Amino acid sequence: MIRQAKFLSVLCSLLIFSVTAIADAPLFAEVSKTPGLRWKKVTIPIAFSNSLIKTNPAVRPESDIQGAVRRSLDAWETVANIDFQVIWTDKLSVSPAGNAGDGTSLVTIAQTPENLLVFGGESAEISARTRVFFNRKGEISEADIILNPYQQFSTDGSAGTFDFESTLTHEIGHLLGLDHSSIIGATMNEHQGKNGIFNLSSFSPRTLSEDDISQIRAIYGARDEDDCCGAIDGKISLSNGKAAKGFNLWLEESETGRVVLGSKINPDGSFLLKGLPARKYQIYIQDSASNFSGQDLGEIEITKGRTTNLLRKIILSPRNFDAQFSGFNGQLSNLAVPINSGKSYLIYVGGKNLNPEDLKIGTTSPFITVSNGNFTKYDYGKEISVFSFENKNSGGNSGRRLYDLFAE
């Protein structure tokens, strides 16, 4: 499911502040707490409704729907040991909620009562939902994707529309058993924007991030297993011995700074990250509420076919600022900021107590340089503080987490 949250736009003398969030929560049948889900067989049948390609006000004319379908499926098939068995059908409605479906995994945009019921009273906010049926072993038997017929989709980047391919690629991830990613900018992150945010097309989620790839390989294995896959497990505790509850953990390639995989730590402080290519990584941790400074837990080497164990105690270091939004082209958002190699950008940061005189910005990527000498501060009143800085991406694949913000 993808939901368009309330949109706030404040016109200022220098830029537009646009808080845009799209939350997505798949609908899992049977139980509220889902086990690790997967299809029992790696050949997965999926039926696309002809409502997607017939004249429909929810789909802009001339949209390349069939091409987008093929590319979305290819994105997942290329990196994981799965194959889709595709048919097109005149079937319009998905299976109703319950313990079992009708046996057909359907992708549809038809405006039928059964489909509209999935959205309840949220038809103005949600772009799509996926309903997953599974047994007590966590084996998926059916997954239906419903694109909201009250929204509009396109494949050409038309402003104000949802990108069909990005939305479908995300929902296919749910169909395969994935939940949301904690990595900003990942295809499976819960926040995605309509075309027009940052004055750009929302094409980035069409391409799987390293986190998406590792997550799907953790379930089905890699298509090419030359250097894949290893795992890391362990437990993080506080200095007082309590579990590090409410923390996020992620891994970055030591050589490039590229984010490869992230996860929320379990309530007891334990974690398990699978599907990792064999190489060296830096491990970082941050509380989800951003009340404490993030910490570098050191370097670890992942070996193919092995699980590496990590036990750490951390000392909390409180901080009094919180970077909540980033952006450029005159907008701030909680979405990832896409940048191209070889170009310089003026990046905006917004949040609480962000005084540029007291802060520095660093990066873990050798491909990115940051100028800390040209911060520009903007007056937004007491509710939010905003400043900008200049960055240059010199090339390479630096990943989707770019900057570290820290107090001097």
Give how many domains the chain has, as a whole number.
3
Residue percentage of the chain with pLDDT more than 70:
87
| 216-241 pLDDT tens trace | 999 999 988 777 899 999 999 999 99
Which band of pLDDT confidence, cut at 50, 70 and 90, is reported for residue 391? confident
Lowest-pLDDT range, 15-19, 122-126, 289-293, 352-356?
15-19
pLDDT of residue 329: 79
Domain termination site, one of 283, 314, 345: 314
* Band of pLDDT at residue 162, cut at 50, 70 and 90: very high
What is the secondary structure of 356-380 as a DSSP string? Answer: GGGEEEE-S-TTEEEEEEEEEEE--
Same domain, 298 and 348: no
Both 144 and 52 in a single domain?
A: yes
pLDDT band at 11 (very low <50, low <70, confident <90, very high): very low
Q: What is the mean pLDDT of residues 310-337?
A: 86
Is there a domain that residue 55 lies in? yes
Task: Determine the pLDDT at residue 4.
Answer: 37
Do 105 and 45 form a contact (C-beta atoms < 8 A)?
yes
**276-315 pLDDT tens trace:** 999 999 999 998 888 888 889 999 999 999 999 999 999 9
Are 45 and 114 within one domain?
Answer: yes
Identify the domain containing residue 240 by its residue range.
225-314
CATH code assigned at 26:
3.40.390.10
pLDDT band at 185 (very low <50, low <70, confident <90, very high): confident
Tokens describing residue 211: 């986190």
Residue 150 clears pLDDT 80, i.e. is over it: yes
Q: Is residue 332 part of a domain?
A: yes
CB contact at 8 A, 230 and 305: yes
Of 189, 214, 239, the residue at which a domain comes to its end is: 214
Summarize the confidence of residues 356-382 as an average pLDDT.
81
Q: Are strands 343-352 and 322-327 parallel, antiparallel or unpaired?
A: antiparallel
Residue 291: which CATH number? 2.60.40.10
Higher local confidence (pLDDT), 372 or 96: 96
Last residue of a domain, one of 292, 314, 336: 314
**Residues 13, 299: Cα–Cα separation, whole Å:** 45
